[in-house]
Amino acid sequence: MIPSIKGIFGPVITTFDRRGELDLDAFGANLKAHIAAGLDGVLVAGSTGEAALLEESERLRLVEMARSVIPASRQLLVGTGAESTKACVRRCREAAERGANACLVVAPHYYSNAMSTAALQAHYERVADESPVPILLYNIPKYMHFRLEPELVARLAEHDNIIGMKDSSGDLETMAKYLLAQTPHFGIVTGHAGSWLKAIHMGVVGGIMAVALFAPELTQEIARLAKAKQEPEASEAQRRLTPLGMEIVGRMGIPAVKVAMQRVGLHGGPVRLPLLDLSPSDAALVAELLRESSVASVA
C-alpha cells in the first residue's frame, strides 16, 4: 500500500499484433524502457491503454506482466473503472491480487444523466471501502461528458483509502479548486501535458501523461527546471512539449501515440477496432512534431 501519489507516470499503451491479439513481449519491452527512462511508475489499462476495448482476461494478463517487470521501487497503477460499482470493486480486487499499488477509477458515465453528486459519492465510497489497495479518482470530461465537482472531490479526499486524483481536463480554473483539497494524504496529478508547467506551479504532485511514454526526458526536464526555478529554461521546454501533448495526444489520440513510440524506438503497432490506425499524412505530421520538439527519432 502506498500512502500518497507523486511523480511522473506513463499511461502505457496496450500492444497488439496484426491479428488484434495482445503482444505481451512488446508490452514488456516497452515497460522496461519506460522504467529505464526514469519514470516513477506506470498506469496499465488507462485511457491510452485502450482499456475500454480490452477483455477482462486481457486486463489481468497485462497487470501480471507489468508487475513481473516493474521493480518494487516503482509504482504500478491500474485502471479499474467500470459502469457498475460491483464490477469496479472486482477489478480493484483482481488488480490488487496481481500486485497493483493503487487503482485509478474513472467515474461511471454511460448513464451520465443519473450520475448525480450523491450517486458518484456512493460509488466512490463503496469502491474505496472495499478495494484492498488505495484508489485515485479520475476526471476526464472528454470521455465522461461531465466533470467531478470540486465539492465532491473535497469530500472524497477525506476517505482514508482515496489518495488522489488524476485531472485530465486541462481546465486550470477547476484544477485550482481541486488543489484546495490536496493534503499530504491526497494529491492531485495532471494528465494534461499542454499545461504541465502551469500545473506544477499551481502545486500538483505529479503527472500521468501519455507524452511521458515517448518524450520522457523532456517531460522530466520541465519538472526539474521548475523545481530549480529556472523559469526561462522551463518555459522553453514546455513550449517544445505542448505540441506533443495537444496535437499527438489530444487531437490525434492513441493511434498517434503508438506512431510516436515507434518513431523513438519503442513498440507501437496497431490499435484495436473500432479505432483506426493513423493515416500516412498524420503519421508524417507526428514525425515532424517530434523533430520540431527535438525528441530523438530512430526512423
Catalytic site positions: 166
β-strand partners of 44: 78
* Distance between CA atoms of residues 213 and 147, nearest Å: 26
Q: Which residues contact 126 (CB under 8 A, 6 or more apart)?
A: 85, 89
- Written as one letter, the residue type at 18 is R
* Distance between CA atoms of residues 101 and 241, nearest Å: 29
CA 264 to chain centre: 20
Strand ranges inside 71-205, DSSP E? 75-79, 102-106, 135-139, 162-167, 187-190
* Distance between CA atoms of residues 132 and 134, nearest Å: 7
